[in-house]
A = this chain, B = another copy of it.
Amino acid sequence: MTMAMMTYLEAIKKGIEEEMARDERVVIFGEDVGGVKGGVFGVTKGLAEKFGEERCFNTPLTEGQIGGLAVGLGLVGYRPIGEFQFADYILPAVNQLISEASRMRYRTKGDWTAPVVYRAPYGGGVRGGLYHSQSTEKVLFGQPGLRIVTPSSPHDAKGLIKAAIRCDDPVLFYEHKRLYRLLKEDVPEEDYTVPLDKANVVREGEDLTVIAYGMVLNHALKAAETLSEEGIEAEIVDVRSLYPLDKETLVKAAKKTGKVLLVTEDNLEGSIMSEISAVIAEEALFDLDAPIRRLAGPDSPSMPYAIALERAFLVDEDKVRTAMRELAEF
């Protein structure tokens, strides 16, 4: 297997590029996505030049339209990828995503389908304030028919975006904007996909189970290394498939250690971690040696701008480590 060093951002771009080369039905669009800018983070830079302005293009500043345009293209055989410039700006498109994309297959019993991908950079820690930091996955979570996934490593980023593009279901693909340039690793240059419906045990351990995704998953991985020196071995699971959840893997990992820490950078209430907690409480109750613990942002409406406030909101490596240690020692 030939490998190449790639950032999380480059891995996503590479995945899209390969799929566009392999399947001319793949088209991509959004605000600033076409032309020479190629997205405000640069994910689509160069694609318009390579694949033409018809397959990689700018839309007007209208997210509802981006949502519906994708569905319409999906109906007639395309594999559209609509980009929301920030996950915060999915909100104007919620109606299209829930009423149309997620229900098209069901309401026609499969006669019509919406094989579309929506990409959206999410997450905080970038001084983005209330409206450039949000984790909006909770808003779209629990809408059967729609899949939500997010990669937490460059390897998964490439494999997951490719799987999403090939998938016959609508997939909402979240990209953590802090990870774009922070993570770099060797990624296969060959064609591969990562399943859309599988969580991933990224570290084995016996003392406690940490379930997370995105930036906080990476905090947990680092914290696990230092805790290992203290003799605490954490099992760490990357949720990856935010909806539907891979319950089997999650429950198994919970049962394995009997101590479960759920970490999200979103607010505590109504987060994906609440559902995971419910699943574990239902299916693994008697295997638990400690109450399921959730670590999350405070219940303020997203993340304030001022440094002290942003820090107070963010679940950082220290907070994760402390929670892990506490739970291990329970």
Give residues in A with beta carbon < 8 Å to B: 88, 91-92, 94-95, 98-99, 102-103, 106-107, 130-131, 138-139, 141-145, 243-245, 267, 269-271, 273-275, 277-278, 280-283, 285-286, 288, 290-294, 299-302
Contact = CB atoms under 8 A, between A and B. Distances in A.
A8 B265 CA distance: 40
A131 to B, nearest CB: 7
A170 to B, nearest CB: 11
Contact of A243 (B94, B269, B280, B294): B269
Contacts of A142: 138, 267, 269-271
A271 B293 CA distance: 19
A291 B281 contact: yes
B271 A281 contact: no
9 contacts: A91-B94, A94-B94, A103-B130, A138-B270, A144-B269, A144-B299, A144-B301, A244-B269, A285-B288
B299 A131 contact: no
Contact of A144 (B92, B102, B143, B300): B300
B291 A106 contact: no
B281 A270 contact: no
B274 A139 contact: no
B278 A282 contact: no
Given A102-B301, A142-B138, A275 B285 contact: no
A144 to B, nearest CB: 4
Given A95-B91, A139-B94, A139-B98, A299 B267 contact: no
Contacts of A144: 267, 269, 299-301
Contacts of A286: 291
A69 to B, nearest CB: 17
